[in-house]
Every structure is written in C-alpha cells, then in structure tokens.
A and B are shown apart, each in its own frame.
Chain A
C-alpha cells in the first residue's frame, strides 16, 4: 500500500500551521513538523520546560545543555524568544493560549478521546509527563500517527482500550494514509494519500468515515 513518509506527514501538518501561530510539538514524529514550516511563516514554538520561540538544534559543538526541549535534546532560541518557569509554561497550555499542539498517539477514538501515555501493560512503569496537560490545553489538538499498528490494527477506534490521556480533545488526525477531522459531525476525511481509494481506507479503519474531499 502506498503511504506518506514521515516527512510527507510532517509537511502536511505544517501546511495547516498559519503565520503567527503558537505551537507545541510533541516528542517523536511531531518534532519533524518544525522542519517543514516555510521560512516566510513566523511560527512561535513552545516547549513545556519553559521556552517560547524555540529554534532548531545547534550546530555540533555548540550544544548548551541548559537549553533543551521537552525531549531533553539541545535546542536554540530565536530572536524574540523567552524563558519562564514550569507553572507559567503549563498555564499557557491549560489557559488556552497555545493555538495548536501536535501529539503522537497509540489510539484515537471517534469522539476525539486520546490515548498516548501508557499501554497499560502490567509490567510497564507509567510515565505521563506533560501529555495530559497538552491534550486538553491547546485551542486545537492535532494527532500525528501511523494509521495502523505494526500488527495491522486500526489506531482509529470506536473506544480507546489503552488508558486515556484526555477525553474528546483531538480535532484532527494526520496518518500516513489520510487526514481526518473528528467532531460531532463524525469522522470526515479531508485528504487521502494518492492511489488509495476511499473504500480501501474505510476497509482498514475501525470507525465510520465520511468522504469530505
């Protein structure tokens, strides 16, 4: 089956991030979105550990481990950037000041429920970090994930079986096969990878889809 690469997915998300937006990119796949925001668009990146205006990774040798992102990797600060403490940083999320956050996910339900912090496996050590605060805080929560699990199961589900991160919080899902809006009007497909028929997409997706292309 033809699918979008990780970079193509990131570029597709970046298309929906407008000039002037304040955005938080989650660890992993969402981090790639930063590489695809056009240079003429001024987008302010927020990092949960107290940065607005986060820039790209420093050149090798110029790393400063007092300036890191949520994934604990060294970053830089753009002109106009600022630092603040953790309670302010999470107040920015919870207070609805971020325009968009982009998160990865294990599962997303038709009603927008998100599961992305814990598989619930009995031997797993739970760790939540800022996932729950991000999920419910931003004006819009986007999810970026593979459409199917490694064993071929739909990650879009009627009801999440993994422990929830937030309820009804996801507004749009970007997978390697399609872009799908979630909401009271159902799961509306607004984009599909070239060469994949809507019926084929529906056949491998565990929720009812509506074609809105």
Chain B
C-alpha cells in the first residue's frame, strides 16, 4: 500500500541534513508552508541553501530561519521588501550569500530540474548584470542566455488538498511555485489542511500528480494572513 502521509511535521523533516538545498514555496502571503518552516527551524539543520521567491518577511517563517543562522545561501528573485530587515542585516554584514535570479528564470530553472533538462537558452536577462559571465547564443536573430537547472534535496510546499498517494490541488494564487518545486526535489514535503480519501480528488483537477510528492502532513486550517508587503516603499520602478 502506498501511504505518503507523515504522522507529524517533525517526522516529515527528520532527515533534512546540514548543507541541504531546500526549496520553499510561496509568493507574498500566499502558499507559504509556515508549519514546515517552523518545523525546519526546530529540526536544526544548518548551512542550508534556500530557494524561495523572496528572502523572508517580518520576524517569522523564513525570516526566523535566516535569523537563526541556518541559511548559508539564498537563491531568489526579490529579497528586498518593506519588512525584510532580517535578510537585509545578514546580507549587509556578509553573513549570507545571495544568488539573484529573474523570477521567470527562477521558475524555469526549477522546472528544468524536474523535467530532466540539462540547461536552456532564455531571452530574459540578456545584456544585463544578471547574465554576466553566462554563455549566450543568437538563435533565429534573437539573443539568449544559457541558464542551468536548480535541483533541491527537499521542497517544502503548501497545498489545499491531498490524498495518500500525494496527489495535490491548490488554492488560488497559493499555487505559485508549488507545482514546479515539487518536481525538482529529491524529497517533496507538503503541508495541507485537508487530506481526502483516495479517489475523492477529481482526476481532472489534480494539479500535482503524486509521483512528485514523497510526504504529506496535515496541519490545522488557518486563514492566510495579510503580510507587511504593501506597507513600505521599494526601490523598484516597476514590475
């Protein structure tokens, strides 16, 4: 019998080793696996490389993991926020390495890892600082940059509904990086408020098929909270 349901967050994360690369889902307030992040803090693994769109907000979740000194390097697209003070301080004092990646390249590099692609040419970033030192090629008159996949040891994501095979459906924009991160990690751990009996999820509505999921943990349902995102000014002119 296939049963990917873990009895607890603690059990689901027990074997995360020091130095692991850990993908963490979420964009803004939506889709952050808060229970798994708290579990990772409690578990104690250190020297981690974290892949996330941002670099933590406020003092909880990913910011707390950073503050606890567990993260050696972060790969993300948008570290600076109104309330990213924990990352800002670590970065300015040289205590964390940053690999800044355009958001679409981040998503595609993760997707490529899960899909067995060796590397790919993308137009995004060509001619900019973020493509410095990278191989380029002109294809049909358009310039491209060679980008490599990002593989992970663990992916921690949040879904809305799961069954014991690990089939997943999501909720609105909480989907974001979850489906691609699930494909790119050796071990994908999912937190969900609802676990349903096998055969209950509409097969047409399964977004992540269970083949990409190793562990499922049920957590209490909580209403997604507003973040501090809109409060402050950012340097960015747009997008």
Contacts and interface: CB of A to CB of B under 8 A. Distances in A.
A116 interface: yes
Nearest to A164: B128
Contacts of A198: none
A26 B29 contact: no
Contacts of B236: 27, 104, 116-118, 127, 129, 131
A116 B224 contact: no
Contacts of B79: 125-127
A63 B29 CA distance: 12
B71 to A, nearest CB: 16
B105 interface: yes
Interface in B123-150: 123-130
Contacts of B171: 66
Pick from A90, A103, A128 the residue with the most CB of B within 10 Å: A128
Interface in B181-237: 207, 223-227, 229-230, 234-237
Contacts, number: 201
A5 interface: no
B100 interface: yes
A66 B239 contact: no
A137 B239 CA distance: 12
Contact of B175 (A85, A93, A125, A167): A85
Contacts of A174: none
Interface string B8-36: 00000000000000000001111100000
A51 B173 contact: yes
B1 interface: no
B130 to A, nearest CB: 7
Interface string A89-118: 111011000000101111000000001111
Nearest to A134: B239
Given A65-B29, A128-B102, A133-B103, A86 B238 contact: no
Given A85-B176, A103-B239, A130-B239, A136 B124 contact: yes
A91 B103 CA distance: 11
A63 B28 CA distance: 14
Which secondary structure dominates where chain B touches chain A? loop
A117 B237 contact: yes
A30 B106 CA distance: 24
Given A117-B239, A127-B77, A86 B177 contact: yes
A136 B229 contact: no
B207 to A, nearest CB: 7
Nearest to A81: B172
Interface in B87-143: 87-88, 91-92, 98, 100-108, 110-111, 122-130
B29 to A, nearest CB: 4
B174 A66 contact: yes
A155 B124 CA distance: 23
Q: Which of B101, B107, B126 is the most central at the interface, judged by chain A CB atoms within 10 Å of its CB?
A: B107
A65 B105 CA distance: 25
Interface stretch (A34-42, A67-75, A181-189): A67-75
**A93, A135, A136: which has the most chain B beta carbons within 10 Å?**
A136
A116 B238 contact: yes
Interface string B67-93: 000000000011110001001100110
Contact of A90 (B29, B91, B104): B104
20 contacts: A49-B27, A64-B224, A68-B28, A74-B226, A94-B104, A104-B238, A106-B237, A123-B92, A126-B100, A127-B79, A128-B78, A128-B103, A132-B124, A132-B125, A133-B105, A136-B126, A163-B129, A165-B239, A166-B127, A167-B126
Interface of B: 27-31, 77-80, 84, 87-88, 91-92, 98, 100-108, 110-111, 122-130, 170-180, 207, 223-227, 229-230, 234-239
Given A26-B239, A65-B227, A127-B79, 7 more contacts: A89-B107, A106-B237, A125-B91, A127-B236, A132-B104, A133-B104, A163-B129
Q: When A and B form their complex, which 3 residue pairs have the shortest distance between CB atoms, in order from nearest?
A: A104-B238, A90-B104, A133-B104
Interface of A: 26-30, 47-51, 63-68, 70-74, 77, 83-87, 89-91, 93-94, 101, 103-106, 115-119, 123-137, 143, 145, 163-167
